[in-house]
């Protein structure tokens, strides 16, 4: 079920782009594991995500200009994904969320 915040507020607009759980975890992998990721690597890292959901989230990130995709193998067709400069600009935000989680949540 997709959520959309219909508020004229910068926080709500940002949540519309990155506020879904899997989206943040996909972005996390770009920052932790490198700015170029392949579908299979993301799928292996994100325990519990279905291929269809991962594909949909990557498409959303691409449509919002946070990542770009590039064909790296034609047979079979395989894609890799790279953060855009807009996507990279989320790095400090995710770092702050991570640091907050380390400080205030239990394992």
Q: What is the mean pLDDT of residues 12-19?
A: 88
pTM for the model: 0.87
pLDDT attached to residue 77? 87
Report pLDDT digits (tens) over 58-85: 999 999 999 999 999 888 888 999 999 9
Report pLDDT digits (tens) over 51-65: 999 999 999 999 999
Which class does domain 21-104 fall in? mainly alpha
pLDDT attached to residue 90? 96
Judged against a pLDDT cut of 80, whether residue 2 lies above it is answered with no
Q: Cα–Cα distance between 46 and 38 in angstroms, integer?
A: 12
pLDDT attached to residue 100? 94
Neighbour-count burial of 67, counting CB atoms closer than 10 A to its CB (0-12 exposed, 13-18 middle, 19+ buried): buried
């Amino acid at each position: 079920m997709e959520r959309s915040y219909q508020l004229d507020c910068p926080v709500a607009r940002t949540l519309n782009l990155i506020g879904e759980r899997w989206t943040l975890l996909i972005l996390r992998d770009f920052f932790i594991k490198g700015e170029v990721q392949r579908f299979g690597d993301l799928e292996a890292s994100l325990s519990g995500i279905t291929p269809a959901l991962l594909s949909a989230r990557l498409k959303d990130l691409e449509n919002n200009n946070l990542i770009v995709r590039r064909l790296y193998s034609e047979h079979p067709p395989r894609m890799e994904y790279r953060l855009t400069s807009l996507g990279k600009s989320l790095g400090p935000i995710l770092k702050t969320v991570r640091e907050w989680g380390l400080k205030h949540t239990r394992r």
